[in-house]
């Protein structure tokens, strides 16, 4: 199945997970033997696989995505970014994704290289995600299109001047051929609901899937939110500050927060939730068992 098919006449929310490729062979074995079997118990609709900065671990992205599809029987998606890739490189990656029988791509610009404040397009590459998406659409077979997911930012992309400008950037991605929108992580559901209202007012009708990252460490999530521009509500921040050196306590706080967020999102009609699981599964057991799925 392709992304849009999950959201057509669906009578249940679409639930998905996101993994990242490990850097070691031990990590790959852990994914195959422990992580994926445990995540599979929750019967996600699909699982997406990222890759590292500047295309590092990209070959493992395809390996894991193929493993998910062939060994575990779930639909999957490979992330694809503009970073460090010429059009020829991108064509080669797309060809390998298609040959592996994978029907979906998460199309992103990607982050600037570490140590750089600005994104510079590769030679003969793309500077923006909408250009990448347009290229995918222009080169794919008409009778077998990919499902394409794009990123949305409820609190705006950290490089955007304001949210309205960022939503116009989002519209360009959808107009270029994006099928669904998956949001950046957020911890205040009102930011998501307000974002959806603004997206619809801008004439964008694609499903807006809520992206949730369960908190497993206070220090880690403070670092992540500072990098991506997401905010932590004051009441949650106070709890995390009290667990700054206690990851077990922070995990309990994070599980409770994620369950509360997910239940409200589903209750108020979010079409789906995409969990950034951070390559761990124990916390997802408690979260998934608490949702009305």
As annotated, the active-site residues are: 18
With vertex at residue 46, the alpha carbon angle to CA 166 and CA 156, rounded to the nearest 5 degrees, is 15
Radius of gyration of the chain (CA): 18
Coil/strand/helix, residue 42? coil
Q: Of 35, 49, 67, give the one whose Cα is nearest residue 280.
A: 35
Give just the sign of the alpha carbon dihedral 102, 42, 15, 274.
Answer: negative
Report the distance separating Cα 210 and Cα 272, nearest Å.
6
- Are 287 and 258 a contacting pair, CB within 8 Å? yes
Distance CA 293, CA 290 (A): 9
């Amino acid at each position: 199945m392709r992304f849009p098919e999950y959201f057509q006449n669906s009578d249940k929310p679409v639930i998905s997970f996101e993994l990242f490729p490990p850097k070691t062979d031990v990590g790959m074995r852990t994914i195959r033997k422990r992580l994926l079997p445990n995540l599979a118990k929750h019967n996600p609709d699909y699982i997406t696989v990222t890759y590292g900065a500047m295309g590092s671990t990209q070959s493992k992205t395809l390996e894991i995505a193929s493993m998910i599809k062939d060994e575990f029987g779930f639909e999957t998606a490979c992330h694809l970014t503009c970073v460090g890739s010429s059009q020829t490189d991108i064509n080669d990656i797309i060809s390998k994704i298609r040959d592996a029988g994978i029907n979906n791509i998460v199309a992103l610009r990607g982050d600037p290289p570490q140590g750089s404040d600005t994104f510079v397009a590769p030679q003969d590459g793309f500077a923006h995600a909408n250009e990448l998406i347009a290229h995918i659409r222009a080169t794919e077979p008409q009778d077998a299109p990919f499902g394409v997911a794009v990123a949305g930012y409820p609190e705006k992309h950290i490089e955007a001047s304001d949210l309205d400008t960022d939503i116009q950037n989002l519209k360009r991605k959808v107009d270029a051929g994006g099928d669904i929108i998956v949001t950046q992580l957020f911890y205040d559901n009102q930011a998501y609901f307000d974002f959806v209202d603004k997206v619809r007012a801008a004439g964008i009708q694609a499903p807006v899937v809520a992206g949730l990252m369960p908190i497993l460490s206070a220090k880690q999530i403070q670092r992540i939110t500072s990098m991506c521009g997401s905010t932590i509500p004051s009441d949650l921040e106070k709890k995390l500050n009290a667990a700054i050196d206690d990851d077990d306590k922070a995990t309990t706080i994070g599980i409770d927060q994620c369950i509360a967020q997910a239940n409200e999102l589903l209750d108020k009609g979010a079409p789906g939730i995409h969990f950034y699981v951070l390559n761990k599964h124990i916390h997802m057991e408690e979260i998934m068992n608490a949702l009305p799925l």
